[in-house]
Amino acid sequence: MQDLEEGVARFQRDVFPAKTELFTRLATAHQPATLFISCSDARVVPELITQSEPGELFVIRTAGNLVPAYAPGSADGVAAGIEYAVAVLGVSDIVVCGHSGCGAMTAVADGLDPAALPAVAGWLRHADASRARVTTTETGTGEVAALVRQNVLTQLANLATHPSVAHALAGKTVTLHGWIYDIGTGTVAELDATGRPSALAV
């Protein structure tokens, strides 16, 4: 906790004064352009990776960057966040970002004992379709890496089942993107529809 408290002190002393104008504007305005869905992994920091300022990203973080398919009538924090970002904030882009060495995808690949971590096992069932998409050819290049890629594509497909997203896609007011972040190299690749990665265009 001491590290966190010292960090707050540095923020108040050094960072906030240098960005006073930004924070004054943000105090009464919330207009992010992008919904960024990433893993809960502490090594993945969307604002750092994209060098975004406060207020630019609406971030949802879940274990394995999983997005459950829309289920009418269910109370789901992920679905609520997506609906708010699209229908209220009007984001124009949605990024689902997977990453190298994902613990959730490693657990899916290796098989997780439901008795040991029942809540985690239940959540990871949302990756069953991702595992089914991994082909024999892909497993030869590393099952977890292949699963990370296919999982991003699966979650993009799940996103499209949410009514707010489906409506925005039909109206061409939102664009979906699948990214893979490599922790060891800092590179970010964008996936095509087949899961093939290519360097992010800048």
Domain ranges, ordered by start, for the chain: 1-29, 31-199
Is 102 among the residues known to form the active site? yes
Please give the pLDDT value at position 182: 96
99 carries a ligand binding annotation: yes
- 102 assigned to a ligand binding site: yes
Contact yes or no for 130/151 (Cβ under 8 A): yes
pTM score, whole prediction: 0.92
Which class would CATH give 31-199?
alpha beta
pLDDT at 197: 79
Q: What is the pLDDT, as a whole number, of residue 115?
A: 85
Confidence of residue 141 (pLDDT cuts 50, 70, 90): low
Q: Is 41 helix (H, G, I), strand (E, B) or coil?
A: coil
Between helix 103-110 and helix 143-159 the angle, nearest 10°, is 110
Q: What percent of the chain has pLDDT over 70?
A: 96
Asked if residue 14 belongs to a known ligand binding site, the reply is no
Residues whose CB is less than 8 angstroms from the CB of residue 192 and which lie 6 or more positions away in sequence, other chains included: 198
Six-digit token pair at 9? Answer: 């002190």
What would the 3-class secondary structure string for 153-171 be?
A: HHHHHHHCCCHHHHHHHHC
Q: Which of 39, 61, 97, 149 is flagged as catalytic?
A: 39
